[in-house]
Amino acid sequence: MDALANRTVTDRELRAQLGMSYQKSRTRIQVWAPDFSTLFLNLYPTATDPSCEKFPMKKEGGIFQITLEGDYRGYFYTFQIGDREVTDPYSVATSLNSKRSAILDLGETDPPGFRDSSFLSLPPSKAILYELHIGDFTFSSSSGCRHGGKFLGLTEEGTHFNQLATGLDHLKELGATHVHLMPINDFETVDEDVQRFGANDNYNWGYDPELYNVPEGSYSTKPYDPKNRIRELKQMIQALHRKGIGVIMDCVYNHTFKTKDSNFNLLVPSYYYRQQGEGFSNGSGVGNEIASERPMVRKFIMESLLFWQREYHIDGFRFDLMALTDRETIEMALRRLREKNPNTIFYGEPWAGAVSSLPKEQQVRWSSQGRLNFGLFNDHFRDAIRGDNDGCIRGFIQGECGKKEDVAFGLVGSVSFGERASSIPNPVNSINYFNAHDNLILEDKLTRSVGDIEQKEDMTRLAFGLLLTAEGIPFFHAGNEFRRSKHMDPNSYHSPYYINAINWADKERELGLFRYVKDLISLRKEHPVLSLARGEEVRKRVQRVETGSPNLVAFLYREREGFLFIIHSNATGENMVEWVKVLQKLQVLHLRARRIFDQRGRREEAWEQISQAEQETLRVGGLSTVIYELEPRSPWR
């Protein structure tokens, strides 16, 4: 490992423009393969032609390069290493199922107006993240989409189920600011042939990367056309941007599907992967982990991220198993991406899949991001809300009062008001969630932990009440807003679409819940105090109110004029809160109050006068989030 980590890499190698560079008069191709003395380029006139021309490539240092004079647009190529053909790791386009790298003019893949568009102009603290899988979202015929399960499915307007918006219009109606797209780059275990699309044995989430800079072909209507998949992905991004919705790309730079026979390893044996003993380190849990700390690996990751940002106008990046990508690479990537787009959303999972050989001090773990404003998934808050991932352990929403303090800590963005080991500097460092694509989706977790009871909907409402009023960045999974189930499958990464595809009839069945979530999102946007960016703002403007009940968590939020008072109850029945506790916290004798939100959604109730002398109480329904606007009759002291 030491020899690989300390391998000499020249400045020329670090500066080299690797991959394919097309011009109408010539195409230049460069690849890093320092251990070989000879390398050939195989040039194919089509994606399926069995015969090719072989060209010896010129080696300078560790880089092989060749310039093809003339217009080779539409050709395909591989590298020949002994008796093995290898695709270009820097490919930007490919043939069906990643067999050959493609030569094309990227400028020809832009939809009209795409190059003139820009990123979503919204600071990370104001983001509301909605995670979806391209196939799941529109595959079902209930979506009403002509291009179900494809990139183009998310470009279609006017789609509906029984007059209720689906697809793109649903996203706009809901109000989420960004879609988090599960992997959209080329992955290995789905056959891209259109004849195989939707087959029960031909599904995957996509966390098995093959070519990092190429869109996944199975989401294209013409996967055999290298330009088509690029153009259709750009059309989808353009359609989302036109609706005011940002696009976050799920990145899997921690491992590859293949190991010994990956293009990385065949071109530069062992260099791209961490070693442990005589074999590969397995911090991902699937056979390998990418050695991000090595110069040429870091170069690849950095250039890949910047390519997606520049070429596709991606607004943000989520890192799978971020603990496996070393801190220096993460910090460098954040800095470089925000040079181009200061509002780049940047977050990841603060854990690995297994034991890694990357030293602990180089791993990105919870509360380790220092003053850098990127986010990490807050699994402490997740577990406090719902309990464990796949078992029967309950959280606050299922009535577990022992989780109350952990919930309260999550509601202030996990920013410490004193000494707490798991605290973070700023709420934007916390990605708040109660589920993601993996493990039991919330509906199924509730079934496992409390059974099939009527209160599951109320518990779901309380989960959203906690999530969307917590400081930090809220994140939820597609279909949570209408109690989507995955039929108790805790790991549906390669289960069929009949398990994974969203059934839009669920929106009709749970229309009340959908409107409740929509109301919460709009309320969050209207009250900036619920999305504070800095820890000092939280400590200055948020105060806990002790109610005396083990079932209630309550906070006061200071706005420019007046306050919000938010109470969360996990009791099954009604609770009472004495207004005097609020008056004493505000140090006033009188205030005006009106309820603006409860378990039914937004309210338009009249102002009422509250006096300390009257010993009045407010009613809090069971399993609910209740929000009041307050106007104290004397200033904050």
β-pairing, 473-477 with 430-432? parallel
Which string of b and e fits 43-62 if b means at least 16 CB within 10 Å? bbeebeeeebeebebeeeeb
Alpha-carbon distance 473 to 479, whole Å? 19
Does the annotation mark 320 as catalytic? yes
End-to-end CA distance of the chain: 61
Contact 427, 532 (CB under 8 A): yes
Give the largest Cα separation in the chain, rounded. 93
Does the annotation mark 60 as catalytic? no
Candidates 13, 216, 250, 349; catalytic one:
349
Candidates 232, 320, 400, 629; catalytic one:
320
Alpha-carbon distance 463 to 456, whole Å? 10
DSSP state of 67: E
Identify any residues that bridge with 29 across adjacent strands, giving them in sequence order.
Answer: 20, 66
- Burial, 450: exposed, middle or buried (Cβ in 10 Å; 0-12, 13-18, 19+)? middle
Alpha-carbon distance 190 to 133, whole Å? 14
* H or E segment to which residue 469 belongs: helix 456-469
| CA-based torsion, 365, 130, 438, 136: positive or negative | negative
* H or E segment to which residue 88 belongs: none
Alpha-carbon distance 320 to 251, whole Å? 6
Alpha-carbon distance 312 to 238, whole Å? 9
What positions carry a catalytic annotation? Answer: 320, 349
